Amino acid sequence: MSTQPRPSTQPRPSALPAPSPRETPSGPEGGVPRHGSRTRRRRRRGAERRPRFALAVTALFFALLYLPVGVVVLFSFNSQKSLTVLEGVSLRWYTALLHDEVLLDSLGMSLRVSLVAMAGSLVLGVALALGLVRSRSRLGSFAGLIMLVPLITPEIVTGVAAMLLFKGLGITLSTTTVMLAEITFSISYVTVILRSRIASLNPEVEEAAMDLGATRGQALRLVTLPALLPSILASAVLIFALVFDDFVLAYFTTGVDPQPLSVRIYSAIRFGVQPTINAVGTLMLAGSIGLILLALAIPRLFGRKGGLDLLSGK
C-alpha cells in the first residue's frame, strides 16, 4: 500500500522578493514622500515670511501718529522763536517756562487735581471692586457691567453730562468740580484693574486669618490689602497719568481761573502757538511716559507679572 505525502500546511514563500525600504511608495524607511516634504517646507517658509505690506502699513501708522509729537519735542529745543526753522539747540524755552507764573499756576492745579482724583478713585474703586467680587446676587453682576459703561462712553458725553449736572445743582464750576468729575471718571479704571486680581485671590487665606482670631476687618487690612498692594500702586500711577493729561472732562468742568494745564495750553494756542508750549508739551509727554512705565513695572518689583498684564489685573 503506497503512501502519498501530505500537503504542507506552511504558506509558500512569495516568489517575488520583498521591496526594499527605498522602493516602497511611502519613501525611505517608510516615511512620507520626498515631494510632499518639500511642499510642506515651502509652505512653512511662505507662512514664516514677513508680510511686507502689513509692515509698511504699520510703519506708516506709527509715523503719522508720532511724527507730530516728535516735531513738538524737536522745536522745544529751538534757540529762536520759530516754529518752522530749527536754527540751533537751546534750553531757552524751558527757562522761559520756569518764569511763566500763569503756566506754573496751571501746572500746580493739575498736580492737585491728579493727586486728589488718584486718592479718591482708589478708595472708592477698591471698595467697589471688593463688593462686586464678593457679591453673589444678580445685582452685583449687573453693577459690574455698569462699571464698563464709562470706559466705552465718549469722554465728551461724560464732560457735558457732568457740566449739566453741576449747573442743574447750582454748583459754580471751579477746581472742586474738576476733582469730582475726575474721581467719578477714574473709579471705573481702578475697579476693572482690581476686580480680576481680587477674584484670583484664594479666599481660604482670609478665612484662615479669621479662624486664628482676626475679625473680618483685620483680615481685610492684614491679608487682602497687602496682596492687592501691587495692583493698587499700579492703578494709582496710571490714574495720576490719565487725569494729569485729561483735557475734555477738565474743559467742561473747570472754572475761569486757575485752569488745568491742558486747558491753559488750549487757550494759549487759540492766540498763536508759542515755543513755550512746545516745552510744556515735551515735559508732559516725558512725565506721562515715565508714570506709565512705572505703573507697568510695579508688579514686577513685587515678584508678579508686569507689562500689559496690568490691564487684566494679573
For the stretch 240-253, pLDDT in tens is 888 988 899 999 99
Distances (CA, A) of 214 to 68, 116, 131: 57, 32, 20
pTM: 0.69
User: What pLDDT is attached to residue 149?
Assistant: 79
Bridge partners, 21 (sequence order):
none
Helix (H, G, I), strand (E, B) or coil at 78: strand
For the stretch 276-306, pLDDT in tens is 888 888 888 888 788 778 777 776 776 655 4
The answer to whether the CB of 83 falls within 8 A of the CB of 75 is: yes
| pLDDT(312) > 50 | no
C-alpha cell at 114: 491728579
For the stretch 21-46, pLDDT in tens is 444 444 444 454 555 566 666 666 65
| pLDDT(157) > 50 | yes
For the stretch 179-226, pLDDT in tens is 999 999 899 888 888 887 888 887 778 788 888 888 877 888 888 888
The answer to whether the CB of 149 falls within 8 A of the CB of 299 is: no
**Cβ neighbours of residue 191 closer than 8 Å, sequence gap 6 or more:** 125, 128, 129, 132, 147
| Whole-angstrom distance, CA of residue 133 vs CA of residue 113 | 29
